[in-house]
Structure formats: C-alpha cells, structure tokens
Amino acid sequence: MARRKIVAGNWKMNKTPSEAVALVEELKPLVKSEDVDVVFCVPAIDIIPVVEATKGTNIKVGAENMYYEESGAFTGEISPAMLTDAGVEYVVLGHSERREYFAETDETVNKKMLKAFEHGLTPIMCCGETLEQREQGVTMDFIRQQVKIGFLNVTAEQAKKAVIAYEPIWAIGTGKTASTAQAQEVCADIRKCIAEVYDEATAAAVRIQYGGSVNADTAADLFSQNDIDGGLVGGASLKADFGKIVNYK
Ligand SMILES: O=C[C@H](O)COP(=O)(O)O
C-alpha cells in the first residue's frame, strides 16, 4: 500500500499567538490537499489558538516538544495529556536543536517516544548527522544508533504509525539542501534499519520525511523519491511558499 505523504511545518520559536492566527489564516487556502497530510508544529503557547483557527480544515496541529512524565513538579514542561486535551495529534521529538541546546539524548527521546504512543500522539522523530560526521563517513552508523535507541521498546504496531524526519544538521537553516540522491540514500537506509529492527511490513509503513532547507523549488524532487514521504519544513513553513511545498506535484 502506498504511503501517504506528510508535510509538516516546524515553526520553531516564531510567531506570537496573534501572529500565529494570522499566519494560519494566510496559509489555510494555500495548503488544501487531498493527497498530503498537512501538519503545523507550533510553539506551545500557540497550540490552543492554532487548533481553534484550523478547525474545519485539513490542517493537523503538532507540538515541537513534550516531556515524558505524566504530570508533577517539572517546571516549564508540557505533558502529553496537555497536548492531546488541547487537540494536538503530532509531536516533534529529538529535533537537532533540542539535542544541541537542551541536552536531549537518544535515551530521553526514547522515553518521549514511548509516552507519545501511550497517549495516542504521533511522534515525528528527528535524526541526522553533522557535517563532520558526513565527512568522516559515519553518517549511517550515527543515524542507525539514533533510530535504534529512539525506537527501543516501541512495538511494531506503534512503529508503523511513526514518522521519522531525516534532517542533516548541515542543511538546517543554511539554505544548503541535501541533494535528492543524498536524502534518498539515507532515508532508504533508515527504512532498512527499521526492517532489521522490526520487519518488512513495518518498514514499508513508517513514513520518513526529509528536512533541511526544503523550499518550493526543491520539494518536488525530494518528495518524489521512493523512500521520502514528505518533509519537515522550517523557514519556508512560515510563508506562503509552504502552500507550494504541500502542493509540490
Ligand atoms: O524542522 C525543520 C528543520 O530544522 C529544517 O529547517 P529549515 O527548513 O529552516 O532548514
């Protein structure tokens, strides 16, 4: 069965609540699609107004992070139940910016993955190598480790619903997109890794996005690769171009 494409915008730390609503209103008519799942992953404080503003559209709302505990004395954190209660369906986990600036590790990402599934949230688990790792030829060893630890104790049934975002760190926010061949090669190997950990059926079901300077000019080539099922888009998700990326065909 063909995998359904999924194009998600990661707004990162951009847009106040009122700006968020204005952006949703601008993008709403542009991101209509019958064939593509469209997700807006927004800052925590924007979630409630964005859920409200996207009602009745094809747009799903995602969070950019969450904590792995149910509730309690974890000042500043957001629980999975808070997200689901607010109408969130997706959650970005282990973005490289969180790994770099907020000390996220493969182990904490794994805890978050398990908790997200427990609450019926769909994780978009990010992985990707640095430029140094690519130059040293250890890209796949590194990514395989991120994927294997991230999916530890995740069942095959859960894994089938997961989204993995391959984001080479050197391509994020740099304007330097990975070539379609580079992106396809890594996404295919991630799928192979999932097949080794689980089975072919699970590997065939999991959706793998590419992320890193995706724009309206590069989306069509990238998203038409065999193992690339859409994109996780940063900068270009904050402008009208996002509509062109969703409707890349
Ligand atoms: O999550 C999105 C990625 O970090 C890509 O960001 P970018 O499209 O601005 O390069």
Report the pLDDT value the prediction gives residue 124, as an integer from 0 to 100: 98
65 is in an annotated binding site: no
Q: How far apart are CA 207 and CA 203, in angstroms?
A: 9
Q: 42: helix, coil or strand? A: strand
Report the pLDDT value the prediction gives residue 178, as an integer from 0 to 100: 87
Q: 17: helix, coil or strand? A: helix
Report the pLDDT value the prediction gives residue 1, as an integer from 0 to 100: 63
120 ligand 1 Cβ < 6 A: no
Are the C-beta atoms of residues 45 and 72 closer than 8 Å to each other?
no
Active site annotation includes 95: yes
Give me the tens of pLDDT residue by residue for the chain, a chain 249 residues long.
Answer: 689 999 999 999 999 999 999 999 999 999 999 999 999 999 999 999 999 999 999 999 999 999 999 999 999 999 999 999 999 999 999 999 999 999 999 999 999 999 999 999 999 999 999 999 999 999 999 999 999 999 999 999 999 999 999 999 999 988 888 899 999 999 999 999 999 999 999 999 999 999 999 999 999 999 999 999 999 999 999 999 999 999 999
Say what the ipTM of the complex is.
0.98
Q: Of 95, 97, 104, 129, which one is the catalytic site residue? A: 95
Nearest atom of ligand 1 to the alpha carbon of 126: 1
Report the pLDDT value the prediction gives residue 162, as an integer from 0 to 100: 98
Nearest atom of ligand 1 to the alpha carbon of 171: 10
Q: Greatest CA span in the chain, whole angstroms?
A: 48
Report the pLDDT value the prediction gives residue 174, as an integer from 0 to 100: 87
211 ligand 1 Cβ < 6 A: yes
Q: How far apart are CA 90 and CA 162, in angstroms?
A: 10
pTM: 0.97
231 is in an annotated binding site: no
Active site annotation includes 19: no
Q: Where are the alpha helices (DSSP H) in 56-205?
A: 80-86, 96-101, 106-118, 131-136, 139-150, 156-161, 180-197, 200-205
Q: How far apart are CA 14 and CA 36, in angstroms?
A: 24
Nearest residue by C-alpha to atom 6 in ligand 1: 234
150 is in an annotated binding site: no
The two three-digit tokens of residue 168, written as one number: 């080479």
232 ligand 1 Cβ < 6 A: yes
Determine the number of helices (DSSP H) and then strands (DSSP E) in the chain: 12, 8
Report the pLDDT value the prediction gives residue 173, as an integer from 0 to 100: 86
CA of 183 to the centre of ligand 1 (A): 14
* DSSP 8-state code for residue 146: H
Report the pLDDT value the prediction gives residue 175, as an integer from 0 to 100: 81
Are the C-beta atoms of residues 122 and 91 closer than 8 Å to each other?
yes
CA of 142 to the centre of ligand 1 (A): 20
